[in-house]
Structure 1
């Protein structure tokens, strides 16, 4: 069993207090948003400037020269921690350094006339856009106005091209700080992603008294299970989930970026902490009695029957698909609860089976697919 006797105390903040959540947003989410917006808008600003007139921009701005040539060796290679390499890999702006060096050695050659600026699509701007989008939704949910970045700030990055690195460092460090590995605000949001209501009340005793207020603040909602009998799925037995694009949903998705895409913001191939692995290790150490998911669930595919009162577990493949177990929906949810609470599994709810061979055996019953989020 999961030891939940001290979850209210161990969180270290009052999750029922709107002010505590707003303080978290101001101190942790706002700096993340500002840094991510600066990266995103500067990337777009720089691209427009170079596309408009590369030669003029290069000649008129020593900063742009440093972006494209900083740290390029006499052999046309990128030195370690080269600024030009950083801009190529992180911003997606670069020239061919070998061609530049070669042309500079040719007498009576107008080097710039033979140089083309390349604009690639690295992963960073997309990830930065995601961080902007998610953090902006959290800020709005908490009543924050979104700060704007004026052109003087963007032009400042051109004058001092190394200064954009500070924004990457901010995004990187803030993602670590707000990850569920280290931050109980995010852990709380993650634990409400798809968890039976009764289990949340056991884990967080104060939540039962303040459930409506927390629901309104974080955007919690009852998750529907298609065609389920209301006598089996009601009251404290329902699954609590997140309203799409709400506070908790956006914070959960930011945590996914911290866990799975942190390396996108790492500088100069620095070693990235394995946040997800650390989280799993902490969970396993603090809950030694929790079975591996493969032992808790006999199979991974379940189908609702008797109007949702019971679930039938099936296993096998298209050549041999057979029933392996049967239990009530409530018993199924009790088994799943601790794994859902801690993010060790996801439960994918479908209106019917995914494959033809499943449908041929079980019909068009609603399906519940148990998916592990870790190996172990």
Structure 2
């Protein structure tokens, strides 16, 4: 870890993760900035981390290395190998003298004597005359041809077919071959489940520690972590008089689907449903595995009516997910602090009871209805 990263206070990185966790789209994208040595910066991250434009990239890569951010390709940039700056002039130069004073010229080939030279050397008033054998060229395809377009260096008169591309740094003044340039990949950074966890706990830990709180199969939180967060969120909701709801989901007709298509297909469908539900949630929601196939989801700052809207939207998405019979549908049970519960376990038990009511009603529904 570089000194710049080492001396950055941990609180600023936590603040950045928390800021991302509160957004609907938890990602950071690069924007052009001529003050940055990369030519790009991440203004939201730079404002929180308080770095010079462009230096926040190193800290974002550090967080990505710990698993708190994921990286997604955005673009490639070329930097000077001497000063690491993006301000480069890519020049086509003569391969013999490296002058950039070159121009494209049409070539002529005289069939009679085989002489090949730039078209300008054959000009003789309004006609062409071969400068080697002095014969007049009258008919293209009979006396001569135009085989190609080449380059002529005005500095050394060298004729060549392809120029060499070189780089000139506008910052330090060094000239170098283009293959010597530093190629840097720019990324869009997105908050991961581990990043949300770190934001909630207020602690940056090595990536391996996340396994204590993250289920490796589906990337959801473990039930142990869920119980801790539920107790904390209930205390917070009561202290500030905020709403809080709980959602428990369970797929319907899974046994029939497994009998028709096999265990592997059923397991794949359960995973697809779990991922669909995760993607439908807010960053502030906390999903955890419930039983062997369901999810339990903590919806902070959400009244029962809002929880019903979210649950019914997810139910419809699951219904549209599979098209072959027998279809797997979704049953959902909800509970809320407004139901008069006293403890986290009572909130869970009430949501579970309503989940059973939904399943007994034939599935593919949410209970209680508004």
What TM-score, normalized to structure 1? 0.25
Between structures 1 and 2, the one with greater strand share: 2
What TM-score, normalized to structure 2? 0.25
Between structures 1 and 2, the one with greater helix share: 1
Report which of the two structures shows the higher radius of gyration computed on alpha carbons: 2
